[in-house]
């Protein structure tokens, strides 16, 4: 990690200052925004990761996440006092990559920032093609194309799809997937992975209910069933 730009969207100045301080100590260029409108303006100037509080004075953080996903796939870590599993699943369903509940450890947050950036930055410079070019995964640009059209996947969605596609027909448990793409366990990981898989299917499948690429193996996990070219 060397100077990556982090935008921290948090209206509680004390919390924002603590996050900025810890990120700064680790060499990140951290900037704070106190409102959703300010965040949407700043994010277009170029950042590597977003730490987003869901409770903001002018906009719902979930609406901000939705708006950002319209034009960017940068990693988003949601920061919120909403601690229920349903809230976590809802946030991830909107395209967040990770979810940290208040009160939180600043050191843990920094560790999660590093984990997201480390995984986002991996480049193997190879292209995977399936079903006669119908689905193409380009690891150098972290893009996925279906029938020639580039799809909008989040960084976490891309890592999950790549993990499975690199080993067609191999069954991955939910725990194996979360450990591979996040690097640590967390409560509710099974439903978190289900939420990400659901998002991916809606983007790459013609009919998500009858998947041609990501198959559920009931009681075991998921496997990729596309045919390599």
- Domains, the chain, ranges and CATH? 5-120 (3.40.50.2300), 127-224 (1.10.10.10)
The one-digit pLDDT tens for each residue of the chain (229 residues) are 557 899 999 989 999 999 999 999 888 999 999 998 898 889 888 888 999 988 888 887 778 888 887 788 788 898 877 666 666 666 666 677 888 888 888 888 988 888 888 776 655 567 899 998 999 998 878 889 999 999 988 888 888 999 899 999 999 998 888 877 765 555 556 777 888 899 999 999 999 899 999 999 998 999 999 999 8
Dist. CA 36–CA 42, nearest whole Å: 10
Whose CA is closest to 10, among 26, 200, 23, 119? 23
Which sign, positive or negative, has the C-alpha torsion 146, 213, 138, 112?
Answer: positive
Q: Which two tokens stand for residue 31?
A: 């900037």
CA distances, 55 to each of 36, 62, 70, 162, 191 (Å)? 10, 9, 21, 33, 23
What's the length of the chain? 229
pTM recorded for the entire structure? 0.63
Dist. CA 130–CA 34, nearest whole Å: 44
Largest CA distance in the chain: 54
Q: Which two tokens stand for residue 66?
A: 């939705």
Dist. CA 68–CA 40, nearest whole Å: 7
Cβ(130)–Cβ(226) below 8 Å? yes
Which sign, positive or negative, has the C-alpha torsion 148, 151, 155, 161?
Answer: negative
Q: What are phi and psi of 22, to 5 degrees?
A: -65, -40
3-state SS class at 200: helix
């Amino acid at each position: 990690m060397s100077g990556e730009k982090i935008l921290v969207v948090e209206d509680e100045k004390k919390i924002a200052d603590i996050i900025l301080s810890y990120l700064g100590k680790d060499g990140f260029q951290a900037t704070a925004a106190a409102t959703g409108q300010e965040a949407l303006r700043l994010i277009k100037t170029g950042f590597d990761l977003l730490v987003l509080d869901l409770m903001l004075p002018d906009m719902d953080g979930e609406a901000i996440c939705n708006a950002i996903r319209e034009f960017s796939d940068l990693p988003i870590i949601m920061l919120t006092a909403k601690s229920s599993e349903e809230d976590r699943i809802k946030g991830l369903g909107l395209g967040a990559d990770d979810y940290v509940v208040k009160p939180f450890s600043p050191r843990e947050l920094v560790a999660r920032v590093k984990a997201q950036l480390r995984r986002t930055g991996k480049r193997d410079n190879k292209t995977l093609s399936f079903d006669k070019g119908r689905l193409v995964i380009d690891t150098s640009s972290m893009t996925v194309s279906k029938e020639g059209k580039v799809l909008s996947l989040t960084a976490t969605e891309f890592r999950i799809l790549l993990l499975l596609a690199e080993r067609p027909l191999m069954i991955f448990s939910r725990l194996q997937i979360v450990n591979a793409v996040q690097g640590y366990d967390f409560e509710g990981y099974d439903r978190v992975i289900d939420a990400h898989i659901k998002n991916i299917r809606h983007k790459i499948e013609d009919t998500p209910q009858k998947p041609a690429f990501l198959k559920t193996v009931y009681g075991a996990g998921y496997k990729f069933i596309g045919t390599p070219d």
